[in-house]
Amino acid sequence: MKLQAVIFDLDGVVTDTAHLHFLAWQRIASEIGIVIDEQINEQLKGISRMDSLERILRHGGMEQRIGQQQRLQLAAQKNAFYVELLQQLHPGSVLPGIAPLLAELHAKHIRVGLASVSLNAPRILNALGLAGQFDFCADANTISRSKPDPEIFLAACEGLGCAPANCIGIEDAQAGIDAINASHMLSVGIGSQLKHADLLLASTAELSELCLQSFWLTKHGELSGRVKEGK
Ligand code: B16
Ligand code: MG
């Protein structure tokens, strides 16, 4: 079986915006008397804007006190701060190893997709100078369930015209790894804390087309070995 496509998460894989999300949420949370730390932020990775707010309110014991209207206002305010912070992004903000990997994948005719639940994904790709580098970007506006649901990864596979079994997904968040695994793609995790990634790398700098191809061959060798042994 041939590797046909590689599907990237955006925040934390292509560029590091998790800290910018944190700064914006911290500002909003403090306005309603909730203190959040980096540990809470870790749980917000890969989760949609409204789900993130829900988790912050729950953390502060305020989920019953803030109605839908106020939630929408808080989410809009958070996004306005976040978009302001995004102005600091530039092509140098692309994480190490990503630009060469994209070039290698294109050269080998392996399709490249994006599976980000961020509604700001097009703006971020433009700021990074990467807008033309993805063959298909799943549109977060059309997704009803955020990660760990596989919906966004399945939408990316469909847009690329590739079966999930022919794709690798790359993620930095546990919710994202769970989404990739649930979509029956092979998963590559970036970071040290992730569970159940088929391949775990310490940093994006370790990514290359060669590394992904040898991982693919090893995994498929193992799978066909198991089929032959009847396991
Ligand atoms: P926005 P990803 C996710 O992006 C972030 O990890 C998550 O922290 C954020 O809440 C979510 O996008 C929504 O972002 O508020 O910009 O729509 O990791 O799926 O690329
Ligand atoms: Mg991410």
Set 9, 135, 172, 198: catalytic member? 9
Closest CA to 105 of 12, 216, 185: 216
- The pLDDT tens digits of the residues spanning 21-44 come to 999 999 999 999 999 998 899 889
Residues of the chain with pLDDT under 50: none
DSSP notation for 165-193:
GGEEEEESSHHHHHHHHHTTSEEEEESSS
Query: Residues 111, 4: contact at Cβ < 8 Å?
Result: yes
Comparing CA positions, the residue from 46, 5, 57 lying closest to residue 185 is: 5
For residue 56, report the distance from its CA to the centre of ligand 2, in Å.
18
Q: What is the pLDDT of residue 223?
A: 65
Instruction: Give the domains, in start order, of the chain with CATH numbers.
Output: 5-16+94-229 (3.40.50.1000), 18-88 (1.10.150.240)
| Active-site residue flag, 11 | yes
Query: What is the reported pTM?
Result: 0.93
